[in-house]
Amino acid sequence: MSVETLPAKRQSVVRAAAQVFVREGYVGASVDVIATEAGVSKQTIYNYYRDKENLFLSVIDAMLQPVAERFLAVLDEILLDEADLAAGLVRLGRAWTALLAQEDLAALRRLIVGEATRYPQLLAAWQNAGPGQAQPKLTAHLTRLSGRGVLTVPDPERAANQLTSLLIGEVQTMSLFGAVDVPASRVDDIVTSGVQVFLRAYSAAD
């Protein structure tokens, strides 16, 4: 459930929790501080979420769901149009990197990466809410395009992972997961060259 679809009081809790978690870290975040910033009692938070972990998992879900929905819509729109697949994949890469560069989302992702060793369940929640939806959809599109002879893709799941790395992997590494700005011209160069590599590997034989 996205933040915007939550009741008003829960919206306040989730927004305040996201800010406090990013600012203080998962371990350092205090439910007392979150309650104060949300304008609710500490007991209200416990009534809603039981404990800090469930609150953080709810923050992940609320922040990622609208982004995942927008990405899946873009993915369908672009890859259902086979007229110019190269241009479409470049558009996909640009849209994907722009979504991941959103400041609040990037900050949350950095936090989860930093806590992944001690709290792997947080990383699992992120994977399920984001990549866990995107990769199967991308795999399905590549399977369809291969079946129609637009591409030759023996292993669509692996190809989907490779395409993801080519489109966003280098940008994410260069930006330190959104902590450092990468010039738009550099992003375009990475995305365009990534698409060229992918199509050289998987374009259907004439």
Express as a percent the part of the chain with pLDDT over 70: 97
Among 66, 61, 60, 56, CA closest to 25: 56
Q: In angstroms, rounded to a whole number, what is the distance separating the alpha carbons of residues 69 and 87?
A: 22
pLDDT of residue 3: 67
Say if domain 3-202 classifies as CATH 1.10.357.10: yes
Angle at 149 between CA 147 and CA 150, to 5 degrees: 110
pLDDT tens digits, one per residue of 116-164: 999 999 999 998 888 888 999 999 999 999 999 999 999 999 999 999 9
Residue 183, pLDDT score = 95
Res. 198: pLDDT tops 90: yes
Using alpha carbons only, what angle is made at residue 108 by residues 58 and 185, rounded to the nearest 5 degrees? 135
Domain chopping of the chain, boundaries: 3-202
Nearest to 130 by CA among 81, 179, 155, 164: 164
Q: How far apart are CA 60 and CA 112, in angstroms?
A: 9
Confidence of residue 82 (pLDDT cuts 50, 70, 90): confident
Q: Which of 80, 82, 72, 62 is nearest to 15 (CA)?
A: 62
What does the pLDDT read at residue 85? Answer: 94
